[in-house]
A and B are shown apart, each in its own frame.
Chain A
Amino acid sequence: MSTTSIPAPRTGYSRHKSTRSKFEMFAWLFMRISGVVLVILIFGHLFVNLWVGDGVQAIDFGFVAGKWASPFWQIWDLLMLWLAMLHGTNGLRTIIMDYSEKPSTRMALQVILYIAAVIVIVLGTLVIFTFDPCPAGADPSVLAEFCKA
């Protein structure tokens, strides 16, 4: 009978050191609050775009330009963009934390996620604030009413 070598003693189980950070608490709280606010924002958005007046038939360049000429809808859409993106990003972050086993996979997925989130948030914010409702030289038939004045 062959002699079996004695296995190395267990290296013990190492828990992560406590971080003493409140980040996870605020992330958890943010998910609840942004979820409730998003329900109002999204259903308000759907109601105004698809239901009021001519409904879905009214949506064209002029309709969007008209909405973004008003600071109310600029802030509404900005809030919706930021809350939805941060809510979704944090949700994906928790899924990555829960299901990726190798630290390298976890890191790679998180980097991709954060880059994607930053690109969408920056681009979206830029569009909302730099949007020109009456571009010069455009076909006047697609522009909003107030551009002709």
Chain B
Amino acid sequence: MSTDTTPAEPASKIDLPDHVAGDAGSIPSFDCTFRIARFDPEQDSEPHWEEYNVTMYGTDRVLDALHKIKWEIDGSLSFRRSCAHGVCGSDAMRINGRNRLACKTLLKDLDTSKPIIVEAIKGLPLEKDMIVDMEPFFQSYREIMPFLITSGHEPTRERLQSAEQRQAFDDTTKCILCAACTSSCPVFWTDGQYFGPAAIVNAHRFIFDSRDEGGDMRLEVLNDKEGVWRCRTTFNCTEACPRGIEVTKAIAEVKQAILQRAF
């Protein structure tokens, strides 16, 4: 074993002279205006707009701007967010009139020359600022029984499934229950009685699972007055989904499954 006498490598093998390096690698910053629908249930009878000017960077997302406003300008701004990386589905909101996750919407993809409009998602009872009561959403989610239903003894090994069988419902396993789809649906906005795309997507995930035996019960639930037949195929849900689930296609597949079962 020999002792290492060579000097440690420098952090960068290329030392750029100052006149070449400049600030080429720095992140561009820009000023942008946020117009946010604020609602305080203790003072307001309905939401009102407030504008905030912030200096943001090209790598920032809408969520970063909301953080900056909350932490540096107005601490009373309320919104939900948990993971902040597009997995938990907490921060769905209406940004420039489209339902998206604030943590997945980059400022550089929006038109920062105009105010960026941020509102709570529509169709669910507003509680404060961006926070809505998600109970109606989760109630219809619970009604479609989003869990594995089987009969007989539990097998001693895992329930096997072929790649093709898994492929049938692969798309709908991606749902993170952010409610961006359901709250973008015009049918849901009217009276909130429609099951909504998210509940149907999660029913689809089990109906088309070869291991599940509760498909008939779920199809029966969705064959209701407020079930899949209220879908008008406006594709708002498919456009809103931050996970890229083909929601309208999944609803159409459930419609087909109900028809095949009926005839």
Contact surface of A with B, Cβ cutoff 8 Å? 4, 7, 10, 12-13, 15-16, 18-25, 27-29, 94, 97-101
Q: Tell me which of A4, A7, A12, A18 contacts B224 (CB under 8 A).
A: A18
- Is there an interface contact between A13 and B224, defined as CB atoms closer than 8 Å? no
Max chain A Cβ within 10 angstroms of own Cβ: one of B41, B191, B230: B191
Interface string of B219-249 (1 = CB under 8 A from A): 0110111110110100000000000000000
**Contact yes or no, A25 B258, CB < 8 A:** yes
Determine whether the beta carbon of B190 is less than 8 Å from that of A15: no
Instruction: Give how many B residues have a beta carbon under 8 Å from the other chain's beta carbons.
Output: 29
* B133, A24: Cβ atoms closer than 8 Å: no
The residue from B41, B187, B229 contacting A25, defined by CB atoms under 8 A apart: B229
Q: How far is the CA of A28 from the CA of B220 in the complex (A)?
A: 16
Known pairs A13-B135, A98-B186, A101-B190; A25 contacts B223 (CB<8 A): yes
Inter-chain CA distance A29–B255, complex, in Å, is 10
The dominant DSSP class at the A interface is loop
Would you call B223 and A13 a contact (CB within 8 A)?
no
9 nearest CB pairs, A to B: A24-B229, A13-B136, A28-B229, A19-B225, A18-B224, A13-B135, A98-B187, A16-B193, A24-B225
Collect the chain A residues with CB atoms within 8 Å of residue B136's CB.
13, 15
Q: Is B140 positioned at the interface, with any CB of A under 8 Å from its CB? A: yes
B232 and A15 form a contact (CB under 8 A): no
In the complex, 17 of the A-B residue pairs with CB atoms within 8 angstroms, ordered by the A residue number, are: A7-B41, A13-B133, A13-B136, A13-B192, A15-B140, A15-B226, A18-B224, A18-B225, A19-B224, A19-B225, A20-B220, A21-B225, A22-B223, A94-B232, A98-B186, A98-B190, A99-B190
